[in-house]
Structure 1
Amino acid sequence: MAGSALSTTAHANNGDLIAARQKFFGDENVDPESGRVSPDKVILSWLSNSTLAASIAGHVLLLDTYVTRLEVSPGRTPFVIGDLVALKPEGLLIGHGHFDHADNAAYIAAMTGAKLYATAETCVALQADFAREQADPAIQGNPATAFPHKASISCNTVTTTGSVPGTQIVKLDFLEPDACVIAFRHLHSVAVPVDPTWPRAPNPSVYYAVDPRDPGLFPAGTPLAPGKSGTLPGQINIATSGSGGPGGPIPLFFDFVLREGRHFTFAWYNSSGALKEGLGSGWPNGTPADGQRITNILKSLPATDVDAGTIATANFDNNSYRDPFAYIQALNPKIFIPLHLTTGSTFKESISPAVYGGYLDQIKRLGLTLDQWPDTRWLVDPEDYAKPIVYDIRDPRWDNPKKLPAIKHYCGSDPDDHHDDHGKP
């Protein structure tokens, strides 16, 4: 039902599923008869902020569920929430429980049966959100948006309540035998005092005062996101109960390791805390030892091929790109994809080119050249929404023998025990 106005059904038919998957993952990567996505690829499709539709060896997931603007009809985002329901994801991974990450999670889970993976605190918030939506006549009184009969949600707790960041490293088996998923709690962004040792890049506003595209797209005063006080005509108002609540600032880091081919690895996280001080907004009394513990984990993970991580932090005004750069430098990926580009700190919709200018400036201020830094695949809204980023898991570029001991350590077995085609193109 791509292109429809929030039309959601309890059981999207096969045509809806195929259309949604082709919209997000590309016609050439989706079987036109079954809707199955290519099993020999990892495909990422940016849906705004830190939200990605992901196909990992043919398994369809949503990494976060927030959409910057839930259009009544496709507009700035070229899709609507009904398309996310029609996508029929197997799982919904929630990086943390703030509204700009967990919005829509309970709704999509109830409509599709997809399993949620989140912290214990965020799971509590999402169960409360489900109960609120279940009792909302604006949702349940409309046959197009009402939950299926006896709907429920299944929220799998990845870390326990109140756990210390970096002390619970969990192996999740829901993609086995195709992929191992490693998850742990880390630090949410937080403002800390100016670090005099960090060569700060200037605020993005130095580069672009306004986005010259927007006046032509939206008249002055047009809100780029609906307010929480009401709904637009025909629009569902879904705001997670975790926003600002106990599940809000407690983030998870997810690492994916493919079993086949070259053991492609992919990291995803939607916040980056002050590793130097060991502080986060959900861990306000941390110490440098907490940050060092997380840094050590990041460095010990199987060598990262693609890092899809936040570039915005609450610490940006004080210390510019310091905290996200600490994550990038610890992971040392081949490719970096910036996320959290449409909400958070000083970042707003449409200033992505300005943020990129500051990012390049920051690399230079560190005394580095671009060939000493990961290849960067910058994203610009709204042009890059729902455009598939495709990686062939058998590409020789991902070969790295140093991955194997770390894979065995974190994933519990030698990856070659699962398949006999290691290294074949």
Structure 2
Amino acid sequence: MRRVLVVLGMVLALVGSTVAGGALPAGRADAASELVAARTAVFGATNVDQATGAVRADRVLFSWFGVANFAVAMGGQVFLVDAWVPNVYPRHVPTTPAQLAALKPSHIFIGHAHFDHAADAVDIARASGARLVGSAEHCGFFRGQDAALRCDVVSAAGARPASTTTYRGLPGIEVTALRHLHSQIKAPTGALPPLLPLPPSDKLLTDPPGPAELARLAPHLNDPEGGSMAYKFTVGGTSVLWHDSVGPVSHDPAGPAILAALRRLGPVDLHVGAIQGFNEIANGLHDAMAYIDAVGATVFVPSHHDDWFPVLATPATGREAAFFAALKTIDHSPQVRYLRDPADYLNPDRVSIPVNRP
């Protein structure tokens, strides 16, 4: 499947010209106004101090910008989880890498380094000064693009799945990093029906990519995974778990250990997790349900289920019925805030929960 994706992307790139792309423009002189404007656009006027740009500390905010990429505000801190603005369809996602850099995120946490999760990470880190956080493989890959980048390692090279690390680099927030599995195709079990990205999107006709978009994306189509990480963030008495892939934990030998680790990290107040994976063509949403059941969150928010790339994806509404049907097959039944594209892009009030003081 990965090879199919790369070949498809190369074909798309060849259609376009070799116009240079991806560079972020220099910041404007009025840095304070730029910060306020960027944070207001991404987190909403009611959540941002219009004089200073500070984001309210009494709520956790996740503002979605495609796939499993979110701008996050917790405890007064602003950071990103993953960093790619889907650009195959130029008008689909209402933000840019430049606007995300203008948020002045302190950190960018990487779930894994495939292009749909990290293609803009280096550019945003350069422009904002953000510190990257990920596996040793992620940091090595990013430093290969820019040796001056700051990148904190939370998982050693070749670390075993289910291993956890405490990260102390985000002031006021406890962070636990969990090494888990990227999605993979496994033999069907018959537990849940397979899912295919059908019907295909018409976005290539209604919002086709231009040369600049293709030129920015093409160099990243074969970026390496570098291991898959999940992160638990805790501020006050509130905890959040985020991951950008769902591994075949019911099929892989490491699965039982990963599920046990997820149970130890849970239950959490908010679970923001990928539900689309390569295994859905054989096992439907079986993997996603295993993660949800193990974590035991009060609120679950699906991601990586939107119209982010031709052939591989459809709008979120395309798998909505299948998701809620699958949810009935597991023991845990969280509240669900189902995100639909494009209406819920940059809609932070959709994924907002209060911070409970301990």
- When normalised by structure 1's length, the TM-score is 0.72
SS in 2 for 1:220: helix
Aligned partners of 1:126 and 1:239: how far apart in 2?
17
Change (3 A) 1:367 1:325: closer
Find the aligned partners of 2:234 and 2:291 in 1 and give their Cα distance.
Answer: 18
Aligned partner of 1:155 in structure 2 is 151
List 4+ stretches of structure 1 deviating above 6 A: none
1:378 aligns with 2:357: no
Measured at CA, do residues 219 and 257 of structure 1 come closer, stay the same or move farther in structure 2, by a change above 3 Å? closer
Amino acid of the residue matched to residue 173 of structure 1? R
CA deviation string 1:140-181 (max 9, x = no partner): xxxxxxxxxxxx3101111111111113x11111233x2200
- Cα distance in 2 for residues equivalent to 1:95 and 1:367: 25
Map 1:115-130; keep pairs closer than 5 Å: 115-130=131-146
For the structure 1 residues 384 and 367, does the alpha-carbon distance in structure 2 shift closer, same or farther, using more than 3 Å as the test?
closer
Structure 2 residue corresponding to 1:220, chosen from 184, 205, 208: 205
- Pair 1:325-2:289 in alignment: yes
Say if 2:234 is the partner of 1:257.
yes
**Structure index of larger Rg:** 1
Shift of 1:33: 0.8
Alpha-carbon deviations, 1:340-370, whole Å to 9, x = none? 12348975142x1121111122234x277xx
Correspondence for 1:179: 173
SS of aligned partner of 2:132 = strand
Q: Given that residues 104 and 239 in structure 1 are in contact (C-alpha distance below 8 angstroms), is that contact kept between their aligned partners in structure 2? A: no
CA drift of 1:236 comes to 7.0
Matched, 1:360 2:339: no
Q: Which amino acid aligns with 1:203?
A: L
Task: Indicate which of 22, 26, 45 corresponds to 2:63.
Answer: 45
* In structure 1, C-alpha distance between the alignment counterparts of 2:42 and 2:135, rounded to whole Å: 27
CA deviation profile, 1:206-229 (whole Å, cap 9, x unmatched)? xx7356xx5xxx572743x56xxx
- Please show how residues 396-411 of structure 1 align to structure 2 within 5 Å: none
Gaps of at least 5 residues in structure 1 are 132-151, 279-286, 395-420
Counterpart secondary structure, 1:237 = helix
Partners of 1:70 and 1:252 in 2: CA distance: 25
RMSD: 2.6
Q: Which residue of 1 aligns with 2:16?
A: none
Per-residue CA distance 1:292-349 (angstroms, 9 max, x = gap): 1111110011421111000001100100001111111100111111111234897514
Q: 1:115 to 1:219 in 2, by over 3 A?
A: closer
1:203 aligns with 2:203: no
218, 237, 241: which one aligns with 2:216: 237
In structure 1, C-alpha distance between the alignment counterparts of 2:323 and 2:81, rounded to whole Å: 24
Aligned counterparts, 1:265-280, within 5 A: 265-278=239-252
Does the 8 Å CA contact 1:51/1:101 hold for their aligned counterparts? yes
What percentage of aligned pairs have identical amino acids? 28
SS of the residue corresponding to residue 258 of structure 2 reads: helix
Inter-CA distance 239–33: structure 2 relative to 1 (3 Å threshold): farther
CA distance change for structure 1 residues 113 and 294 in 2, over 3 Å: closer, same or farther?
same
Closer, same or farther: CA 341–186 of 1 in aligned 2, 3 Å: same
Q: 1:367 to 1:32 in 2, by over 3 A?
A: closer
SS of residue paired to 2:108: strand
1:254 deviates by 0.2
